[in-house]
Structure 1
Amino acid sequence: MNSTQENAAMRLAIDKAGGLKKLADALGEKRTQTVANWLKRGAPMERCPAIESITGVPCEQLRPDVNWHEFQRVLCDPNRQRAA
């Protein structure tokens, strides 16, 4: 994982959201510190789509270590079984 790239992407997402608190609020995070920690640790993979939706910063930049193409292939498969 390239922490410099990840840090820059997370910083960009925070800036585009209008600040740390605004991004945390938009994500439904009660603690701003949780989002602040992502600057060093990286955003959790499952939160990246929401961050991308809010800020326009792609998941691929937020978490370049994740194979997003594979997730898209699986999630967009018309034969995929859905939860009842």
Structure 2
Amino acid sequence: MDTSSIHPLDRAAKNFGSAQGLATELGVSKGALHQWKLDGRGTPAKHCPKIERLTGVRCEELCPDVEWWVLRRSIAGDGGQLDLLP
């Protein structure tokens, strides 16, 4: 199955177990996850590191406008894990 056409948030929800479960873990509504998928919205950067930790879906896919490589490089001694943000 080609996962390249599946929205990163849909993959994250599937990896986590459900969209509702992921939303609850993030402290947002399931509707918020849906809104983030709309054109021009995007996943808020503050949620990306936690989504990545929980699901394996990279921050770069969730919020491509942020230069995540800069953050990853600055914390490379920690294995590149983005735990900087809540």
TM-score scaled by structure 1? 0.69
1:37 to 35, 40, 43: 35
Within 5 Å, give how 1:43-82 maps onto structure 2: 43-74=43-74, 76=75
Separation in 2, partners of 1:8, 1:77: 28
Q: Retained in 1: the 8 A contact 2:10–2:19?
A: no
Q: Deviation at 1:73?
A: 3.6
Separation in 1, partners of 2:21, 2:58: 18
Q: Give the number of aligned pairs.
A: 71
Q: Which has the larger radius of gyration?
A: 1
Separation in 2, partners of 1:51, 1:34: 14
Which structure ranks higher in relative contact order (CA pairs < 8 Å, sequence separation ≥ 6)?
Answer: 1
The root-mean-square deviation of aligned C-alpha atoms, in Å, is 2.2
Cα 1:77–1:11 shift into 2, 3 Å: closer
Cα 1:70–1:22 shift into 2, 3 Å: same
In structure 1, stretches of 5+ residues that fail to align are 79-84
**Does 2:16 match 1:21?**
no
For 1:48, the aligned partner's letter is C
Relative to its length, the structure with more helix (as a share) is 1
